[in-house]
Chain A
Amino acid sequence: MLLCSLLLASCASNTARASSPASTTYIENKGSDTMVNFALAWAERYQALRPDVRISVTGGGSGTGIAALLNGTVDLANASRRIKDEEIATAQAKGIQPLEHVIARDAIAVIVNANNPVSELTLQQIADIYSGKITNWKELGGEDRPIVKLSRETNSGTHVYFLETVLRLGRSDDKTLFATNTLLLPSSEGIVAEVRHNPNAIGYDGLGYVPHDVKMIAIAKEAGGEYVLPSIETVNDKRYPIARDLYIYTNGEPTGIVKEYLDWILSAEAQEIVAKLGFVPVE
């Protein structure tokens, strides 16, 4: 069996792998779980327009997509966070030039159970909840219940963004971490499912993942500031404090079918799909 494997290995390295950037009709798209659903919607729509193109979409987290780009196994890496400096260094060492494209915007909604009386929080309060300083809802004017903190896994761009922007309030030298008893759920939907039925829970997720039966918290940048709910308008006029760009990374300037797909992604038709799924289109 090992002999067979070795024989096949020599065939494999010669086979035109579907993921090699030189391929023209197969596009490999991988990365952020936040983006995977509209990435899929885009793929479906584009394949209907261009039957000669096939696009495969996989999640796994922003880190997964970028890692795949660095390994040379995808054409388009979806990321809900910026590529890190270490990742850029690793890429350049492998001869890969990551190029960033902003293809949509996203608001991070902080969600609680529909029956939770708390409706407004400041960024500092949310930071204190997640770092473990505030542990009971009654400290925020709610019921006497322990706060169950839900988060995405560490490979999620959403997680990293939340860490930097909320827990550390954007300060780059801040070393605050999530409390160890924060539940790290492997998906956005897992967070929603738990928040939906657990009155103790608080979670965060991309706006596109928030269904109507959980409650979104209105957030103020500072105490005494305006409490804002996330929406397309409040993201675009920058009133909502936790909003971010969503990226696709390519290896250098895209060419051929990948370029055509990327151009279509920035077109009105594709951006309409973005809005329909609860994200914020780029202008």
Chain B
Amino acid sequence: MTRFFARNRHTVQRLGFTLITLVAVMTVIPIVGVIIFIVYQGGPAISTEFITGFPYDGMRSGGILPAIIGTLYLTIGTAVFSVPLGIAAAIYLSEYAKDNQATRLIRLAIINLAGIPSVVYGLFGLGLFVLFLKFGTSILAASLTLSIMTLPVIISTSEEALRAVPQSFRTVSISLGATRWQTIRRIVLKEALPGILTGVILGLERAAGETAPILFTGAAFFLPRLPGSPFDATMALPYHLFVISTQVPEMPIQIQYGTALVLLVFVLTMNVIATIIRSRARARRQW
């Protein structure tokens, strides 16, 4: 019996490898396919007017500037709230927290925040920020909602980056007389910065592409001008794509693909930047 297997296991391996390679190829091809398809279909719609103009004629012509600016505002708003808090929490977990029940609870909480469906965040944001705190449908409410959603990503990646800094860096610094915070600020944070930055960008990338959390907290179908204050509602790229692909009749298909392309470029650029930062940092790492 064993000899039978011994003779065949190389065949098994060759079959197995082929199967796995096939699986990997089948996973990767749709990714590339989707991107190429959207570029091909949406490319013709892209022009200076499209990126910098306002929509008119029921949004069937013109540009999508307010949606682009809106997404920009929401991303910045999300960063303002989630980045400082997230990095601080990560510092706590990496540098201060002891391995006790409380810390385990914090980690469980972070995992849970990460798992909450985006529409439930939208519900929560509606209930708390829009209605209870009376911010109304606004950039503020939407940003706060998005930032709680982004928090777990930033905390986990930042913590990982901080932990990757060798312990020896810290001990040497303390032995030279620095306080804990001085060590963190001047040494550990600096070394972990690329990793933290990667995490932040990936987190914000997800926030930029989300529709459900902003549906009832900040997104508007059409606004005649750019939002003037954080209390205004705003148009946003993902919501705009949803609206023009499902709500507006006689919407030229090219504008739909063009909007999808712009959103894709926005999101993927952030992804690429994060990847570049990460690989450059890995190459330059001194440990």
Contacts and interface: CB of A to CB of B under 8 A. Distances in A.
B63 interface: no
A15 B137 CA distance: 14
A1 B81 contact: yes
A62 interface: no
B58 A37 contact: yes
Contacts, number: 81
Contacts of A60: 221
Nearest to A6: B133
Q: Is the interface of B mostly helix, strand, loop or mixed?
A: loop
Given A12-B135, A43-B224, A59-B247, 15 more contacts: A1-B81, A5-B133, A9-B133, A12-B133, A12-B136, A13-B134, A18-B231, A19-B136, A40-B221, A44-B58, A56-B224, A57-B222, A59-B243, A189-B246, A209-B249
10 contacts: A5-B129, A6-B133, A9-B133, A33-B247, A37-B58, A37-B248, A43-B224, A59-B247, A73-B137, A187-B246
Contacts of A73: 136-137
A19 B231 CA distance: 11
B225 interface: yes
Interface of B: 56-59, 81, 85, 129, 133-137, 140, 144, 147, 220-225, 231-233, 243, 245-251
Interface magnitude class on chain A? 35 or more
B58 A41 contact: yes
Given A43-B224, A211-B249, A8 B135 contact: yes
Given A41-B58, A54-B225, A12 B85 contact: no
Contact of A12 (B56, B231, B246): B231
Contacts of A163: none
Nearest to B138: A12
Contacts of A17: 136, 231
A186 B233 CA distance: 22
B269 to A, nearest CB: 28
B232 A18 contact: yes
B134 A9 contact: yes
Contacts of B220: 56, 58
Interface in A39-97: 40-41, 43-44, 47, 54-60, 73
A211 B231 contact: no
A41 B129 CA distance: 32
Contact of A55 (B56, B58, B224, B251): B224
A20 B155 CA distance: 39
A257 to B, nearest CB: 14
Contacts of B251: 189
Contacts of A6: 133
A71 to B, nearest CB: 8
Contact of A40 (B58, B144, B231): B58
A189 B247 contact: yes
